[in-house]
Amino acid sequence: MDEKIKQALIDIVGEDNYTDSLIDMVSYSYDASEYSQRPSCAVWVETAEHVSNILKLANREHIPVVPRGAGTGLTGTATPVRGGIVLDLSRMNKIIKISIEDRLAIVQPGVVYADLEKALAHYGFFFPPDPASGTVCTLGGNVATNAGGVKGAKYGTTRDYVLGLQVVLPDGRIMRTGSRTMKSVSGYDLTKLFVGSEGTLGVVTEIILKINPKTTAATTSMATFDNLEDAGRAVSQIMYSGIIPSVLEILGRDTIMAINQNTDLDLPEVDAILLAETDGYTTGETDFQMEKIMEVFKKNNAGEVKKAKSQEEASELWVARKSAYAVLSRIKTHVVLEDVTVPMAKIADLLKGIKAISKKHNIMIATYGHAGDGNLHPQFVYDGYDPEQVKSKGAASAELFQLTVDLGGTLTGEHGIGLQKAPFMTLEHDPAAMNVMRGIKRLLDPNNILNPGKMALDK
Amino acid sequence: MISKAVLKEIAQIVGREYLYTTREVLLEYASDATRLESMPDAVVIPENADQISRILQLATKKGFPVIPRGAGSGMSGGAVPVRGGLVMAMKRFDRILAIDRDNLVCKVEPGVITARLQEAVEEVDLFYPPDPASLNVSTIGGNVAECAGGLRAVKYGVTRDYVLGLTVVLPTGEIINTGVETMKGVAGYDLTRLIIGSEGTLAVITAVTLRLVPKPAANKTMIAFFPDVSSAVEVVSKIIRNKIIPAILEFIDRQCLDCIREEMDLPIPLKAGAMLLIEVDGDIDLVGRDAGKIREVCEQGKALKFQGAANTEEADRLWEARRNVSPSLNKLRPHKISEDIVIPRSRLSDLVAFLGNLSQKYGLPVPAFGHAGDGNLHVNIMLDKNNPREVEDAQVMVRDLFDKVIQMGGTLTGEHGIGVTKAPYLEMEIPRAGIEVMSRIKKAFDPQGILNPGKIFV
């Protein structure tokens, strides 16, 4: 880092909040994706003014700035591909206000999802998106990537809960969007424009979130299917039945086998297992809903249909589901987790297509995910040191994206575009739509300093 | 003014029978529900996106305003051609293209009437929740353009929460698809939500993909009267604290009650200073549990009277109270300025107290009713427009009201939009940086400023 700029940064954030040591630069060179690139330095910001002053400096000097929460993103959003300054927001971690009367929480971006969860639990409320990385990921990161999770089918994603933001624009101006109210149509919806913009339009420094009452009872069940079509049809019929399960997950055969190799669960090794949870305030209510779901399972030729008899049995099943990513990661040296989303009724088609792609390219693709909203996570398992396999992986994922778009789907349901899917943006968006997005990026960030290289916006 | 030669070109695009320039027709399209009036130069009724694309290209080249229009039921002047130009009526885009039960989505053209879509999806046991008061006439395109809300917003959200994707024509004539046909998606910037609520200033919508939900199996309507606003508001908070989010949670103040008293079968207690109309929906068991809990909360909370509807007819009678409010306010004064503010719910009592003071200070009645559940209150400043002093006072009152609302952390409009009527006040809420960003976005979409000029920004 240029000495003058280094000094200017230290003047802004203080000596303790600046680093360019090698060990830190290595740590900041990657996130949970397959990419890495060292930045020149990193700063821990503590206030919106810090962010503003840094952006003014960077904008003047044309230095890339990469905002970072916990670095748990799966698409390379926090990887500083063009070097520059990493803006670590993890020290802006205060919960500013919780108002049950107004049904909202106001937080700083560095608050960890689970910490907000704990604070809200005290009032019997929660912030529903529930990303898998909830114990470590930050709310600022959730907003930047519009994070979702297993409860999406019933409760939606982060976007549905963001009422307002404080954002620092690339030129350093601090701006508020939205309001503390449940609804507003004053002017353009800038709040939603920043949600999911992956740190390319502004740096979020405060978030107003809508919160929900938390249910107190849940019932869990599972069903096995020897036939993917049956499982797919069961999913649409459940969503249509009038009961919206709080969770409806699917595990494919490869995933089931990997789980069995690593646990004592001894799951039936079938083509697909569906896991469902209903939530409510009494077990009478959640059991009643689950009865209806189990009827749908049976009607669609499920093999085994089983309701968890105890809390322990239920949590075993969820532990199995949540272990999928980890157990699959042990098989080979490398994994890439995809995040494609299709209309619900196309889940069976997608699963069959994935099977064919896997066979054609001779690469393991284990699938699981959020059946209830059509968001599946095919996980590519391969040896990243074998150039042949890397090539197959590339070809297979390109085919997966094409298949998804052909089925009327989208490349990403909750992980974002980042670096990983940037080359495929034009599969989903026509050139005119890409131009509009690039136009918006240019008008807010003419010098392209904020998180450059992401989302196929540079042109 | 649009020149004769340009009109001829437009006629060639749509066919002569779909371009109107006669005074009678122009008058029909000069106004909307605000009754503001401004004559357009011509009215066009296009048939497809391609025609719209060609008209917008022409408009961008020649620089005449184009004002997209649904049913003209907007409450903020969004469809009024304030700078003249070409009104583009979306009447012929009136097809429901698909209702997909398996995927819980439907695709419609923007001219479909909201109630018609609701009926069509309910026939297959699905549900499209947004229910603006004008749903029997309003169109889906208008709902999207304004981000319409309604009574059920407290539980189900507003139009924005149901739009998955759009097909739109940009002012430059390009046709783009935004968003997804899936339940979720995060690929690229959220252009869909940028266009929702943009009041026809960024693009013309030609198709809308909407998310649907299963139809709730049961519902129950209840009504409760309270001696004063604060005890009603306390009950609202308690209901939410009990983790019940009712489908509907409507509030009516004392002045409104006095206006409807004579018209109601249901006796309204003389001492009633506030009324809540509450509806819960969902599974039968759940509805029973929630309704029981709400009754308990109301009775513990100083309710003068509580009544639950045993059946649909009774529910309908309870609904009469809410429905009669708006039309009966004219007993107080012949005209009204109706505002649509939203405040954090905990400030509801303070705001109603403030309205009492405001009314007293200027001597004009200010009845209020609205969606207590989400803090969206319809504040009516009643006046006689033939009395210049009252007109002047009412304008000062609007500014005082907005000042108070912003001070409380609220917003000027929850569901009606900025349009013409609130444009002068936008700066009270949106900081300069925000307005500047919005204007730049407008410019990026519409470099010549042809789409619905004179709205939102002044």
pLDDT of residue B125: 92
For chain A, helix (H) and strand (E) counts, in that order, are: 16, 18
Best of B169, B183, B236, B421 to mutate (most A CBs within 10 Å, chain A): B183
Q: Residue A284 CA to chain centroid, in angstroms? A: 33
pLDDT of residue B242: 87
Nearest residue on chain B to A442, alpha-carbon basis: B444
**Share of residues in chain A with pLDDT > 70 (%):** 100
Nearest neighbour of A190 by CB, restricted to B342, B344, B438 = B438
User: For residue range B390-423, what is the model confidence (pLDDT) as tens digits?
Assistant: 999 999 999 999 999 999 999 999 999 999 999 9
Chain A residues with beta carbon closer than 8 angstroms to that of B183: 152-153, 341, 344, 373-375, 413
Same domain, A193 and A225: no
Is A138 in CB contact (< 8 Å) with chain B? no
**Is A449 within the bounds of a domain?**
no
Same domain, A105 and A159: yes
Same domain, A332 and A258: no
CATH number, residue A172: 3.30.465.10
Number of domains composing chain A: 4
ipTM (interface predicted TM): 0.92
User: For residue range A145-154, what is the model confidence (pLDDT) as tens digits?
Assistant: 999 999 998 9
Alpha helix segments (H runs only) across B63-158: 114-122, 140-146, 153-156
pLDDT of residue A1: 77
Burial annotation B210-219 (CB, 10 A radius, 16+ → b, else e): bbbbbbbeeb
Chain A residues with beta carbon closer than 8 angstroms to that of B414: 181-185
Q: Among A35-39, A61-65, A286-290, name the one with the lowest average pLDDT.
A: A286-290
Same domain, A195 and A297: no
Q: Do B189 and A196 touch (CB under 8 A)?
A: yes
Beta-sheet strands, E only, within B130-273: 163-169, 175-179, 204-211, 213-214, 218-226, 248-253
The bridge status of strand A375-382 relative to strand A125-126 is unpaired
Q: Tell me which of A31, A62, A88 is where a domain ends.
A: A88
Q: Classify burial at A22, counting beta carbons within 10 Å of its beta carbon; exposed 0-12, middle 13-18, buried 19 or more.
A: exposed
Amino acid letter at A367?
Answer: T
Amino acid letter at B352?
Answer: V
Same domain, A149 and A256: no
**Is A417 within the bounds of a domain?**
no
Q: How far is A174 from chain B (nearest CA, A)?
A: 8
Best of A188, A201, A210, A444 to mutate (most B CBs within 10 Å, chain B): A188
**Is A437 within the bounds of a domain?**
no
Joined together, the tokens standing for residue B130 give 């947004």
Domain residue limits at A201: 95-213
Segments in chain B below pLDDT 50: none
The bridge status of strand A375-382 relative to strand B19-20 is unpaired
CATH number, residue A285: 3.30.70.2190
Phi and psi dihedrals of B121, rounded to 5?
A: -75, -30
**Is A298 within the bounds of a domain?**
yes
Is A130 in CB contact (< 8 Å) with chain B? no
Best of B126, B174, B176, B184 to mutate (most A CBs within 10 Å, chain A): B184
Is A244 in CB contact (< 8 Å) with chain B? yes
CATH number, residue A66: 3.30.43.10
pLDDT of residue A241: 83
Q: Which of B253, B109, B84, B246 is nearest to B169 (CA)?
A: B109
Burial annotation B258-273 (CB, 10 A radius, 16+ → b, else e): bbbbeeeeeebeeebb
Q: How far is B330 from chain A (nearest CA, A)?
A: 27
Q: What is the mean pLDDT of residues A244-253?
A: 94
pLDDT of residue A459: 64
Same domain, A99 and A207: yes
Nearest neighbour of B189 by CB, restricted to A160, A413, A437 = A437
Q: Tell me which of A323, A350, A377 is where a domain ends.
A: A323
**Is A447 within the bounds of a domain?**
no
Alpha helix segments (H runs only) across B228-346: 229-241, 254-260, 284-300, 312-328
Same domain, A142 and A53: no
Same domain, A302 and A343: no
CATH number, residue A360: 3.30.70.2740
**Is A442 within the bounds of a domain?**
no
Is A321 in CB contact (< 8 Å) with chain B? no
pTM of this structure: 0.94
**Is A352 within the bounds of a domain?**
yes
Same domain, A260 and A343: no
Residue A355 has pLDDT above 90, yes or no: yes
Contact A253, A270 (CB under 8 A): yes
Same domain, A100 and A195: yes
User: What's the rounded Cα separation, in Å, for the pair A82 and A62?
Assistant: 12
- As a whole number of Å, the CA-based R_g of chain A is 22
Residue A239 has pLDDT above 90, yes or no: no
Same domain, A244 and A203: no
Joined together, the tokens standing for residue A416 give 């974002």
Chain B residues with beta carbon closer than 8 angstroms to that of A283: none
pLDDT of residue A458: 86
pLDDT band at A4 (very low <50, low <70, confident <90, very high): very high
Q: Give me the domains of chain B, ranges plus CATH numbers.
A: 96-214 (3.30.465.10), 218-326 (3.30.70.2190), 332-416 (3.30.70.2740)
Joined together, the tokens standing for residue B185 give 């998606």
Q: How far is A48 from chain B (nearest CA, A)?
A: 15
Same domain, A229 and A278: yes
Amino acid letter at B133?
Answer: A
Phi and psi dihedrals of B175, rounded to 5?
A: -105, 125
Best of A185, A457, A459 to mutate (most B CBs within 10 Å, chain B): A185
**Is A337 within the bounds of a domain?**
yes
**Share of residues in chain A with pLDDT > 90 (%):** 88
Q: Tell me which of A323, A346, A378 is where a domain ends.
A: A323
